[in-house]
Amino acid sequence: MNRRAIVFYIVGQAFAVVGVWMHLTMLSTLALRISESPLWLGVTLAAYSLPTLLFSWFIGAMLARLPAKTVLIWTQAANAIMMLAYALLLALDLMALEPLLILAFLTGTIYAIDLPCKQIILTRLFGDERLMQAIALNSIVFNSARIAGPLLASLFMVLAELSWGFAVNALLFVIGLVGLLSVSLPSDHIRPATIIRHEPKAPAALHSRPQVMRVLLIVFVFGMLLMNYNTLLPVFAGEQAGNSDIGYSRLLAAMGGGSLLAAVLIVIRSGWFQRVWLIPLLPALIAVIYAALPSMSRGLPVVLLLGLYGFCLTGFITVSNSAVLRAGEGGDRARLASVYNMLLNGFVPLGNMLAGILLHYLGVSGTFYLISASVLLFLAVWLASNGLRGGEHFGRRH
């Protein structure tokens, strides 16, 4: 394990991830300012998320053929160029809804390539034995950036023009690019024998290891039903606190605290999180939290429950991601990373849309109860039909 390479990579990508969250915050604000419509805000965010759903399968095939570092260099450079395009259109007063949607789709496509590529690089820097710690360390950076990025964006939204904000955003991606150029990766090239000529093709691990399919099935349900906090929590906060903006910020802060705690604990005690039974247990705990939230009075109980929600959220993503990545090697690992990203993140917009429909017809309490019951029922069927042995560890190849 090359500690110097890890430090350069983590520090550089910390700036880049802050740039991702800064961009998302400013993108939402810009969409509302231009359209003055929550509907078009949703359409804009959907345009950003859609490439993950549409292209992840093909991106996996591409990443199986190309050096991971080279691809990530290009995505970081492309992100910087996109941010400069935002800044230039705003400075020239040419920004409108149509170019905004195009830019959102393009930056979303870059992100769909960028995320699995980072996962591949982590596996090469840390190796299989420290893979879970690598993912948890990446989670620490991600959740810290989720605080720093929106805060930095808010300074430009309040004190300066958004065009300057996007220019600074471009600089963050350039810093990430410089850090990446300083990293030397082991085995960055895929051996010709591992290249599959007829693409796209399902990873061999999906055919040879049914365990991976079972894990990915839970990942899909998790992404559809339990990653919808951006839709549920603002409405819940409005009912609980009477002020959705302030209440939502507090709830997100509580989630962020729980997420950071989980990531730090996994880095320190990764062995505690290498049991297969955690994969169904953590979603089950979130489902129980969903069932408990409507009956809770505002204040400390809600904050603690949302902190536990964040803990389980990060814990599940880390342990399931580690289990899936360890099942593959070489080009297979690249495809598995893309499939995982598609199932976890690609269906989140559909999950948010479903949550919005349920909120409209059932209200907050009914929506929480229905989602909770659906997840618990699915997990019960999953365990009854193909549950994994409780003592089994992740990533063992037979």
Q: Where in the sequence of the chain do the CATH 1.20.1250.20 domains occur?
A: 1-184, 201-398
Q: What single string gives the DSSP state of each residue in 155-176?
A: HHHHHS-HHHHHHHHHHHHHHH
Looking at the chain, how many residues does it have? 398
Ramachandran region of residue 395, left (φ > 0), alpha (ψ -120 to 50) or beta? Answer: left
Collapsed DSSP state (helix, strand, coil) of residue 199? coil
For the packed helices 348-386 and 278-292, what is the interaxial angle rounded to 10 degrees? Answer: 120
pLDDT one-digit tens code per residue, 154-181 = 788 777 678 898 999 999 999 988 888 8
Q: Sign of dihedral through CA atoms 63, 66, 68, 74? A: negative
Closest CA to 337 of 348, 349, 328: 328
Q: Which CATH number applies to 201-398: 1.20.1420.30, 1.20.1250.20, 3.40.50.1970, 1.20.1050.10?
A: 1.20.1250.20
Phi, psi values for residue 320, rounded to 5° = -70, -40
* Arithmetic mean of pLDDT, 240-259: 65
pLDDT one-digit tens code per residue, 96-116 = 989 999 999 999 999 888 877
Residue 194: what pLDDT?
40
Give the architecture-level CATH label for domain 1-184.
Up-down Bundle (1.20)
Cα–Cα distance for residue pair 52/345, rounded to 1 Å = 7
**CA angle (56, 331, 392) in 5-degree steps:** 90
Reported pTM: 0.68
pLDDT one-digit tens code per residue, 304-327 = 898 899 899 988 988 888 888 777
